[in-house]
Amino acid sequence: MSEIEKIDGFTEEEQLDFEAELQEGYADIEDRYAVDTQQGFENVLVVDNIPVIDDSKKQKLIDRLRQLFAKAGAPIEEENISMPWDDKAATNKGFIFLTYPDAQQAENALRALDGSSFGKSTLYVNRFGDIERYANLPVGEGELPTGWREKSYVEKDHLRSWLGDNAGRDQYLTFRDTDVSIWWNGRNGNAEPVKVDGKPLKNSKWGELYLQWSPLGTYLTSLHRVGVALWSGPKLDGPIGVNVLRFTHPGVRLIQYSPCENYLVTWSEEPLDNFENHPNAALRETFGPEDEGNTFVVWDIKAQRVLRTFPPEKPVQGEDGPQQMPWPLFKWSPDDAYIAKVNVGSGIAVYELPGMGLLDKKSIKIEGVQNFEWCPMSDKDFAARKAGKGKECSFVFWTPEAQNQPARVSIMSIPSRNILRAKNLFNVTDCKFYWQSQGDFLCVKVDRHARKAKSKKATFCNLELFRVREKDYPVEVIEFKDYVPQFAWEPQGNRFAMVSSNDPNYGQGIPGVVIKYNIDFYQLDQKKGDFIPIKHLDGKIANTLVWSPRGRHIALATIGSSQKFDVEFWDLDFVVDERREASEPGANVTMLASGEHYGITDIAWDPSGRYLATSASAWRQTPEPGYCIWDFKGQQLVHQPQDRFKQFLWRNRPSTLLSKDQIKKVRKELKEYSRTFDEEDAAEENRGSAEKLAQRQRDISEWNAWRARNNKKIDERRAQLGKEKKVTVVNHQDDERVEEIVEELIDETEEVVVG
Amino acid sequence: MKPIILQGHERSLTQIVFNSEGDLLFSASKDSVVNAWFTSNGERLGTFGGIKGDGGHNGTVWTVAVDSQTRFLITGAADNTMKLWEIATGKCLFTWDFLTAVKRVAWNEEDDTILSITEQRSGQPSIIRIYKINRDEPTMQTTTPITTMTLSGSKATVALWTPLSEYILTGHESGKVAKYDVKSGEEVNYVDDAHKGEITDIQSSPDGTYFITSSKDKTARIFDSETLEEMKVFPTETPLNSACIAPLRPYIILGGGQDAMSVTTTSQRAGKFESRFWHKLFEEEVGRVKGHFGPINTLAVHPQGKAYASGAEDGFVRVHWFDESYFRSRPFGDLEPEVEV
């Protein structure tokens, strides 16, 4: 009405006439002269999101835009750009029209320009016709287009229900032949099948290829020939797309989760086909023609879609025999923000998530780069990140010697690409990186060869220990004259253990020879700030180190030998005498026990660090497949030899939700808590044994009843046949006495009698 | 439990049996002789067929059976013969000739009938024959069986009599367990998939109402002789060659090991050449006895449950007299089934 009111000097009647005319009359005219925006404007584009400027900068903006367009391959004359102007604000309206000579050129420009960045903003280019068309779609706000099937929302089952176990037990999975069972690991090796509605969890689909838990234990991952399935919730089953997620990737062989379980990388040996006309809808919808020939797929787990696929990589010669796919090939930053891959010799490609675009549109060029490893983040780092003031991510990489340039280890921060620390190295054969679990320390194990040696075979080894939390990343170097096949940081601690060997038979692979190793423990000297040896063990046969996830305890195992299968349990803080500890670090390093698991191929601590599982998998040609569970003291609780046993997997746990103070409080009041727990344990034990007793009682009574029935039947039949029962002749009371007379020559003398 | 080691065979053992008093042990071997031993001290009583040309076997002796009076011995061998021996003299009394090797022989309860299984080979089917034995004139035996059962399916590997000698129970190469009527020769009952591999041994309980089978499928099972119903299963991690049921105590003994062919040169343990004791009812392993350095081929238990013996691929027989502690110990507390003798 406002327009009408503006017209002065008309009567009310006339005004009504006007109104009617406006509403009806113009409608005809509008219809007749309506512009069909779909046609005749194919050569016009609308560029949105350009900077809003005033008159003074107008010419400059147009010039710069024209430069950009020309660079992108879509040059345009100035007179063909029209910039709508907002007279009131004296600025432009934030978009421009481009009129190209023909539709083809406009179409090319659209492709070239859409999404290009201009300063800080990204330009959005649309066809002129499209804007009108989408604005006039016959779909109102909040409505859905026709043909749209809305999926009803299905509540997910609780993804972390297993953490709510009253006794705080951990779960583990055993995979034998084609059967997969999931168990609660009770006290003293009391395994109880995980049950849902009174029935043990079972799924015949799980045992196809192999299984894996996700890093935080949420998903059970089963690999199938057609792809990967993720099972979650208390039932580890449920509706597809809710508690069961499927990722179709034919021939999938290897998978890797991102640390926070947001993404997944899968690799298949078979390159993806063009699935455009494939009968399987899942394949058709998942992959596009641009994915053809690729073997790596990066998935978004929650959205259940492909983020990006990558072409195949050449497998490398494995250390032991056949060609192997180096895995993980893609490495995730600890916060799921980046995924990176090394292009050996040329650089590192870092992709940002979830867009999966290259960071700053280009990979990081590093001449000669061989390998890299992300720095882990501690809980503190995560908290700081949340508060918005955390450090950047960083990774370490190394480049070998080339043309008078020394080899170099560098730490680079991402996304800024600053080199935080670099160190030159000489006579390097290979480098391996070991980050401490909290990202406090970094050990670079440098395999070196003699200075003038002809072959570049490594003969000795340096450990370069970076203290990452300190200013300028101070480095300490420990030199060894031996091979160092194993190195491991104490999780969350400041100690490390390493295996070295100067056995001449090392690496020769002579069957039947037991290689002797030395094992050393080092500790950070808080006062001096450097690492000092605290314990040296000589002539050990253990070649594998496994720290408890809580630190302090470590298991030394002999794996891969055909004669020795020892497992030793060590405690680094076994306090015998507190005074001694003060004067002599390492005095408390004590072996608690040692055991043997015949045929051992794998070893793993449970997430709580209370139990250790050793397993022998039929996949690795062990003479005796099966598994054992030990407590941290080295006492064997479970010994289960099982034919065709394949996998033993502890279910991972997310890190605790308790704050530092809460943990401290629990520690302090441990005695209070332990009393209740002890009572519960005692009750549990009684109940368990009572159950077993009852079962045995049943077994016996059933057996006796069956025997009585059978005996009666047979006696009747015997009578029928007129036969007599044979009585055993032997009397038990007087056993036959067997006497043996043994003559023994006590002495013999020979005398010569001279006659 | 110090074993008595019987060294008298040059090649691996095939079957060993105690006589009903348990004072003698008969051992058959691939070296074509059968030895008789005093179980109390391991002294050799004698050899059946030791001297060439005295009517002994000329090839692997696969099987041996002794009657309940320890008068006669029946043996079957790879030279396609079955022989009847007089135990007291060691003389061969009678020889039956067949077209293929004799794999198993057994006496019935009354000592007047025997069964024999011949091998399926070169077009010949596996045949079970039942013979009446003339005990009064032992050299005058009939060569016409009273019943002949020609097996069309999987060959029989082992067999034994049911308590009243009306039926025989057979174990087959396919893992089948079957029951045949002795008079009619008909299959009256069978379980096709009793085992998933070849059945290697079949031995009865003291009273014959149930029996145990061992198999290459690494399990031993107890069946009801009447119904062939499976009563118990004992899964191990090695192929089993023999199983027996110990009287007096509620145990069974299992033996086996990796096949001689697949035994590697690695440690002895890898072969798993141990006799394993399992609780018959609770299906739990209670102990192992080591000692052999080849797979155990045959096990036998003293009829009064006082000892057991094992014969192995390594050519030794080990006789173990049970210690006092074996009879006293109660690994599962005071829960015990009725004692069977």
* Closest Cβ opposite residue A696 in set B68, B335, B338: B335
Residue B200 Cα, gap to closest chain A Cα (Å) = 19
3-state class (DSSP) for residue A670? helix
3-state class (DSSP) for residue A296? strand
Torsion of CA B44, B47, B51, B52, to 10 degrees: -140
* Closest Cβ opposite residue A703 in set B41, B269, B281: B281
Peptide bond into B337 cis (omega under 30): no
Residue B188 Cα, gap to closest chain A Cα (Å) = 17
Residue A592 Cα, gap to closest chain B Cα (Å) = 26
Nearest CA in chain B to A622: B270
Nearest CA in chain A to B21: A730
B268 in contact with chain A, both atoms CB, cutoff 8 A: no
The confidence score (pLDDT) of residue A345 equals 84
Nearest CA in chain B to A733: B304
B333 in contact with chain A, both atoms CB, cutoff 8 A: yes
Report the distance separating Cα A519 and Cα A522, nearest Å.
10
A706 in contact with chain B, both atoms CB, cutoff 8 A: yes
Beta carbons within 8 Å of B319's beta carbon, 6+ residues apart? B3, B4, B5, B6, B25, B37, B39, B42, B307, B308, B309
Residue A630 Cα, gap to closest chain B Cα (Å) = 20
Residue B128 φ then ψ, to 5°: -105, 125
How many other CB atoms are found less than 10 A from the CB of residue B145? 18
The confidence score (pLDDT) of residue B266 equals 47
* Closest Cβ opposite residue B282 in set A696, A704, A706: A696
The confidence score (pLDDT) of residue A4 equals 46
Specify the pTM: 0.63
B336 domain-assigned: no
Dihedral sign for Cα atoms in the order A26, A28, A29, A33: positive
* Closest Cβ opposite residue B281 in set A700, A717, A726: A700
* Closest Cβ opposite residue B304 in set A713, A718, A732: A732
* Closest Cβ opposite residue A736 in set B23, B210, B303: B23
- Plot region of A713 (φ>0 → left; ψ -120 to 50 → alpha; else → beta): alpha
B40 domain-assigned: yes
Contact residues on chain A for B109, CB-CB shorter than 8 A: 726
B245 domain-assigned: yes
Contact residues on chain A for B224, CB-CB shorter than 8 A: 706, 710
Contact between chains at A730 and B21 (C-beta distance less than 8 A): yes
Tell me which of A24-28, A444-448, B183-187, B248-252 is least confident: A24-28
Contact between chains at B235 and A721 (C-beta distance less than 8 A): no
**Disruptive mutation site among A717, A730, A736, A737 for chain B (greatest number of B CBs within 10 Å):** A730
Torsion of CA A200, A205, A207, A210, to 10 degrees: -120
- Plot region of A85 (φ>0 → left; ψ -120 to 50 → alpha; else → beta): beta
Contact between chains at B41 and A562 (C-beta distance less than 8 A): no
Q: Which domain holds residue B201?
A: 3-328
Nearest CA in chain B to A710: B209
Find residues 21-50 of chain A whose CB sits inside 8 Å of chain B: none
**Disruptive mutation site among B222, B236, B267 for chain A (greatest number of A CBs within 10 Å):** B267
Task: Give, rounded to a whole angstrom, the gap between the first and last alpha carbons of chain A.
Answer: 166
Which tens digit of pLDDT belongs to each residue from A611-659? 999 999 988 878 888 999 999 988 888 888 888 899 999 999 988 888 8
B7 domain-assigned: yes
Confidence category of residue B75, pLDDT binned at 50, 70, 90: very high
Contact residues on chain A for B337, CB-CB shorter than 8 A: 700, 703-704
B226 in contact with chain A, both atoms CB, cutoff 8 A: yes
Residue A236 Cα, gap to closest chain B Cα (Å) = 29
The confidence score (pLDDT) of residue B72 equals 94
Contact residues on chain B for A643, CB-CB shorter than 8 A: 218, 235, 237
B259 domain-assigned: yes
Which residue would you say has higher pLDDT here, A9 or B48?
Answer: B48
Peptide bond into A354 cis (omega under 30): yes
* Closest Cβ opposite residue A738 in set B40, B270, B281: B40
Q: Name beta bridge partners: B191.
A: B177
The confidence score (pLDDT) of residue A322 equals 61
The confidence score (pLDDT) of residue A231 equals 92
Peptide bond into B145 cis (omega under 30): no
Beta carbons within 8 Å of A20's beta carbon, 6+ residues apart? none
pLDDT tops 90 at residue B234 = yes
Looking at the structure of chain B, the number of domains it has is 1
How far from the centroid of its chain's Cα atoms is residue B262's Cα? 24
Contact between chains at B335 and A697 (C-beta distance less than 8 A): yes
Nearest CA in chain A to B250: A700
The confidence score (pLDDT) of residue B315 equals 92
Contact residues on chain B for A698, CB-CB shorter than 8 A: none
A697 in contact with chain B, both atoms CB, cutoff 8 A: yes
A355 in contact with chain B, both atoms CB, cutoff 8 A: no
Residue type, B217: D
Contact between chains at A624 and B303 (C-beta distance less than 8 A): no
In chain A (755 residues long), the average pLDDT of successive 10-residue segments reads 54 77 71 66 84 84 85 82 84 86 83 79 82 70 64 83 86 90 85 86 88 92 91 87 88 91 90 81 80 89 88 68 74 90 88 85 87 89 83 89 87 88 88 90 88 74 88 87 87 89 74 81 84 86 89 89 85 75 72 88 91 90 87 88 90 87 88 84 79 87 89 86 65 60 85 81
Query: Would you say how long chain B is, in residues?
Result: 341
The CB-side HSE value for A554 (13 A sphere, CA atoms) comes to 27
3-state class (DSSP) for residue A583? helix
B122 domain-assigned: yes
Residue entry with tokens 């067999």? B159
- Please count the residue pairs, one from chain A and one from chain B, whose beta carbons lie less than 8 angstroms apart: 78
Structure tokens at A221: 């991952």
Query: Would you say how long chain A is, in residues?
Result: 755
B337 domain-assigned: no
Contact residues on chain A for B303, CB-CB shorter than 8 A: 728, 730
* Closest Cβ opposite residue B226 in set A643, A710, A728: A710
* Closest Cβ opposite residue A700 in set B210, B269, B337: B337
Report the distance separating Cα A6 and Cα A494, nearest Å.
82
Contact residues on chain A for B38, CB-CB shorter than 8 A: 738
All domains in chain A, ordered by first residue: 44-136 (3.30.70.330), 368-476 (3.10.450)
B2 in contact with chain A, both atoms CB, cutoff 8 A: no
Given a contact cutoff of 8 angstroms between Cβ atoms, the answer to whether A570 and A628 are in contact is no
Q: Name beta bridge partners: A338.
A: A352
Structure tokens at A679: 């009572």
B181 in contact with chain A, both atoms CB, cutoff 8 A: no
* Closest Cβ opposite residue A704 in set B164, B303, B338: B338
Report the distance separating Cα A600 and Cα A575, nearest Å.
31
The confidence score (pLDDT) of residue A204 equals 86
Report the distance separating Cα A456 and Cα A546, nearest Å.
30
Contact residues on chain B for A562, CB-CB shorter than 8 A: 266
A753 in contact with chain B, both atoms CB, cutoff 8 A: no
A707 in contact with chain B, both atoms CB, cutoff 8 A: yes
Radius of gyration of chain B (CA): 19
B340 domain-assigned: no
Contact between chains at A696 and B267 (C-beta distance less than 8 A): no
Of residues A159, A203, A198, the one with CA closest to residue A180: A203
A566 in contact with chain B, both atoms CB, cutoff 8 A: no
Contact between chains at B224 and A706 (C-beta distance less than 8 A): yes
Contact residues on chain A for B23, CB-CB shorter than 8 A: 736
Which tens digit of pLDDT belongs to each residue from B149-169? 998 888 999 999 998 889 999
Of residues A98, A85, A97, the one with CA closest to residue A52: A85
What CATH number does the domain containing B70 carry? 2.130.10.10
